[in-house]
Structure 1
């Protein structure tokens, strides 16, 4: 289905054409008509399926009509789990709405006092669309100057991840300050019971749309290395030295691992940057800018970036730790082989994570090639996920783990 067939406003069509959008993706084709009709929607779709435009386009189109009679006030709120995703959606929105008078603001934590002042000004004036993280938006609402009485639409994006991160209470606080009569759109990559419960709480006779989980593109070279923990860093150093990569993204399961791995890579002369929740927003943006420009070719990050980064030239993904779920694995390695490019994804699997990796293989419907270690790294554990209950092999030092360490 072509975008010209949806009946969008001419001003919005100019933004669509400028963004070089022509053919709608399956989730856009199924979701957009229902949103245009004002229905509540429960959509199960992953990042990379075009879901952002699936709710932004009909939302902008609807606001163009509403603004003719109600020019002031916040009309829509899009709640997302991370700052990176908030910024990305805000940039996407700016492009699509460029030829319209629809205003927007991104509200997220981690900024300085100037950010707060700008957010307060936009919220007080009543930006049409607010893209926000739950905690920061809740803080603004508590201060009493956010007027939500004219709100028409609520969007929860990546709702499953927000619940995983413990934002249920913040989300419900925001919802309890919204008008009862509104359109609700809930997007989630997975369907845990908590999502069904949330949907039953806030949605009214929703249309349910489910887009099958996309498998990793075949052009991604997927390989796994069975390792003992102390072999991980030497293996990464070997992999980075064996081939010249334009941009490497290494995922760790905790920010403690990110910090330690980044320090170790830098000691070895490797230009590496880090992204995790302990950094201020300005620091994150500075690191990302260096990474995008190629000044820092290696970026080490938590899963905070698995869904919130859009860089086409990443040619290697390394999973320092096995992701906790198959969906996270798909999101992580999906950062490479974009825009018709090719890419590789290597996963380092210690003994205790072998069962977890087997579950990932079952989810993606293929066996990932198991690679031998370089001889200088010594013997590697056998891949035997059925029996792998406890780490074996040689004695190991405690490695990058700290009880109670938060993952983001």
Structure 2
């Protein structure tokens, strides 16, 4: 369906045309007409499906055609992270380019000047406030925030917000909103806690569901079954040739991000790091450098797993196995965007095998295991049930007589598959 077939104002269509948007994504096609009718909506869709435009376009359309107060907050959008808040704000600016609709992003990690700008937007009245829960609560506690005239309340990536412990903050904010608002909630999954939240804050919502959260089929997914000390050696073997494409590496902690970044810098690679120890200006600078191609490799915690909007990342590496299947989907979903190809590599140590098997079960397929380079020594067998450890911490030292789990006799078909996967990975790194 084309946007021109929807009941959108000419000024909204003009902005879409200027941005070269003509065809709706499935989530937009199903959501926009429902929102224009004034219904509450719960949307189930993963990142990269166009859900931001699915709620921004009808809200902007209503704000520019309806009779809403000029000196009040008319729409409140909640975001789990400052990166996603920034991305929503950027899309807001584009979609509202030809309309007198104002927006202010409210998120932490800024200096006092930025805080004052946020305060002015909240007190003088911005049409749209895009905020992280913690930062908005900080402003509310100062006593000058009035949310009594909010007509649209939107929770983006609600599952992520609950995972981050924002439930109480959200409910505190909800108490300040009028009951006769239109509420929209978007989530990649629908666990019990999300269903309960929806029951508490939505009024007879229409559910819009777009497929099961799974990675794009064109992402080539592979893994190395290895010992923890072998991980850096695998990274070195992958990056021994020239690197021209953008590569995103996820690690489980900011300490690992820092150590990995330093190791890659010693290899004279063009690398940047992204984690919570950086202030907002530093994070903005690194992200701009990565988007512009002046940094080839970005090492990050899950802080950028959702919200990053770069279309030509060719390779995603999970230095550690993600916490759960949804995090895995969101991480590797940073590649193979906008009809590009992409690869995802996960490094799996003994302790992580059980978690990785759960991811495979969620995907409904076995992810191909590439042999660890022979110069790194023997690698463990892939035995996820045996290596569930039942709460015990494994010993990552490499035994002298460990059976090589990824070696042995392979059929010609396995050799061909390995060659194909390895070739695709090296191609993604070099491009």
How far apart are the structure 1 equivalents of 2:350 and 2:207? 40
Tell me by how many angstroms 1:295 deviates: 2.0
In the alignment, does 2:60 pair up with 1:60?
Answer: yes
What are the residue-to-residue correspondences of 1:3-402 with 2, within 5 Å?
Answer: 3-66=3-66, 68=67, 70-242=69-241, 244-390=243-389, 391=394, 394=397
How far apart are the structure 1 equivalents of 2:231 and 2:159? 30
Gaps spanning 5+ residues in structure 1: where? Answer: 397-408
What is the DSSP-based 3-state SS (H/G/I as helix, E as strand, rest coil) of the residue aligned with 1:307? coil
Tell me by how many angstroms 1:217 deviates: 2.4
Query: Given that residues 252 and 319 in structure 1 are in contact (C-alpha distance below 8 angstroms), is that contact kept between their aligned partners in structure 2?
Result: yes
Tell me by how many angstroms 1:171 deviates: 1.0
TM-score (norm. length: structure 1): 0.93
Query: Given that residues 245 and 315 in structure 1 are in contact (C-alpha distance below 8 angstroms), is that contact kept between their aligned partners in structure 2?
Result: no
Gaps spanning 5+ residues in structure 2: where? Answer: 400-431
- Which sits farther off after the overlay, 283-292 or 83-92? 283-292
- Which sits farther off after the overlay, 78-87 or 3-12? 3-12
Q: Which residue of 2 aligns with 1:406?
A: none
What is the DSSP-based 3-state SS (H/G/I as helix, E as strand, rest coil) of the residue aligned with 1:389? helix
How far apart are the structure 2 equivalents of 1:75 and 1:63? 8
What is the DSSP-based 3-state SS (H/G/I as helix, E as strand, rest coil) of the residue aligned with 2:169? helix
Tell me by how many angstroms 1:291 deviates: 1.3
Question: What are the superposed Cα offsets for residues 169-226 of structure 1, whole Å, 9 maximum, x if unpaired?
Answer: 1111111111122111111101111111111111111111211124322322211001
How far apart are the structure 2 equivalents of 1:213 and 1:241? 37
Q: Which residue of 2 aligns with 1:404?
A: none
How far apart are the structure 2 equivalents of 1:395 and 1:227? 10
Tell me by how many angstroms 1:123 deviates: 1.3
What is the DSSP-based 3-state SS (H/G/I as helix, E as strand, rest coil) of the residue aligned with 2:387? coil
Query: Given that residues 251 and 299 in structure 2 are in contact (C-alpha distance below 8 angstroms), is that contact kept between their aligned partners in structure 1?
Result: yes
RMSD between superposed Cα atoms in Å: 1.5
How far apart are the structure 1 equivalents of 2:295 and 2:68? 50
Query: Given that residues 245 and 316 in structure 1 are in contact (C-alpha distance below 8 angstroms), is that contact kept between their aligned partners in structure 2?
Result: no
How far apart are the structure 2 equivalents of 1:340 and 1:168? 36
How far apart are the structure 2 equivalents of 1:41 and 1:208? 6
What is the DSSP-based 3-state SS (H/G/I as helix, E as strand, rest coil) of the residue aligned with 1:223? strand
How far apart are the structure 2 equivalents of 1:338 and 1:201? 35
User: Which one has the largest radius of gyration?
Assistant: 2
Query: Given that residues 40 and 204 in structure 1 are in contact (C-alpha distance below 8 angstroms), is that contact kept between their aligned partners in structure 2?
Result: yes
Which 4+ stretches in 1 moved above 3 angstroms? 390-393
How far apart are the structure 2 equivalents of 1:219 and 1:171? 37
